[in-house]
Structure 1
Amino acid sequence: MPAPASNPASISIGELLTREHREIDAGIEAFVARARNGAEDATGNWVAPLLDAMTALRRHIYLEEAFLFPPIRAAGLMMPIMVMLREHGELWRAMDQLGEALESGTGDSCLRHNLVTRCGTMLELLEAHNSKEEPIIYSRADVDLSEAAHAELARFLRTGSTPPGWVCERAAG
């Protein structure tokens, strides 16, 4: 359990980032369940969980690339960071494809099926990515970040958002 926010240096960054992974996965899974069941929220919006999960995933990728990866790369984990960046690019492109599918808006049942299929692929990508990132990268987060970098990342986790127009380093492929 994280320490109180008044002492950000004592918060386990790895634990907080792992929790975000679980929340993002749960959002995608909630969307898939909703899409399969034809469920909508009170406003008739059946894609809200997916949109929320994609916003959270883009924010998560941003915080890793902007705050977490640079000090861990500098501490000597260059190859694992390169793998994470490549996989971020794959995830980013998969999110872009989900967005394009939403914008195409072909027939409702066809769209739902297409999105559910794409979400299955996204969940597979996330599982493969997270299974490496959590034990290799996150285990180093609290060790390799300076106290100031740790506090900055903890602050971003509480209040930060992705800058408008930001894309991950390997979004283009």
Structure 2
Amino acid sequence: MTHDPLPPVRLSVVLEAGCRTIEQHIDDYLARRGGPTVAARRLGEAVAALREHIYVQEELVFPLLREAGMEGPVHAMSLDHYQLWETLDRLDADLATPGTPDVRTAARILQAELDRHTSTERPVILAHVEDTLTERQQATLLNQLSHAHTPPGWTCADPSEPGQL
């Protein structure tokens, strides 16, 4: 009995899966799926996962895409990441006081910002990752993604500030 080799894991699929999980966790919170405790935990997981997603893209993926000539699209996504990071900071502050209406409002704002961001990121960045990066770069990134964690104290830089990026 022979086994067909597994198809290679695509970088865009891995990055997309992270986006979908984050979106699902926010949806779970807003729909209060699983009850208030589970829903609140899901929102906390979404916040942490989105911070890590932003870190991975800003520090690992985007530098390679910039080198490959995608400066404009990457800059636009970095501006979105900075805005999302600020929203995450506000949401973290609201989460410190569970049950406040500010948490639901902030979660809705985050959901809207994330929907807008991913509707651009998917066709502009994710759809071109495999075409733009070499197979070696993709393999290296996939390996890095499996071990990447946002370092304590890391924050998303404002790409509109001189000297950033």
TM-score (norm 1): 0.80
Moved over 6 A (4+): none
Match of 1:114 in 2: 102
Match of 1:93 in 2: 86
Match of 2:37 in 1: 40
Deviation at 1:172, TM superposition (A): 9.4
Show CA shifts across 1:74-117 (max 9, x none).
222211111101000000000000011122x27x3xx1x21111
Q: Which runs of 5+ in 2 are unaligned?
A: none
Deviation at 1:27, TM superposition (A): 0.7
| 1:47–1:114 CA distance, 2 compared to 1 (3 A) | same
Match of 2:75 in 1: 82
Q: Sequence identity, in percent? A: 30
Three-state SS of the structure 2 residue aligned to 1:79 is helix
Deviation at 1:47, TM superposition (A): 2.2
Contact 1:89–1:172 (Cα < 8 Å) also in 2: no
1:139 aligns with 2:136: no
Cα distance in 1 between the residues matched to 2:69 and 2:25: 34
Considering only aligned residues, what root-mean-square deviation do their CA atoms show, in Å?
2.4
Contact 1:98–1:115 (Cα < 8 Å) also in 2: yes
Residue-pair matches, total: 157
- 1:1-173 to structure 2, matched below 5 A, reads 4=6, 10-34=8-32, 39-41=36-38, 47-103=40-96, 105=97, 108=99, 111=100, 113-170=101-158
Contact 1:91–1:125 (Cα < 8 Å) also in 2: yes
Cα distance in 2 between the residues matched to 1:153 and 1:95: 25
Deviation at 1:130, TM superposition (A): 0.5
Higher relative contact order (CA 8 A, sep 6+): 1
Q: Which runs of 5+ in 1 are unaligned?
A: none
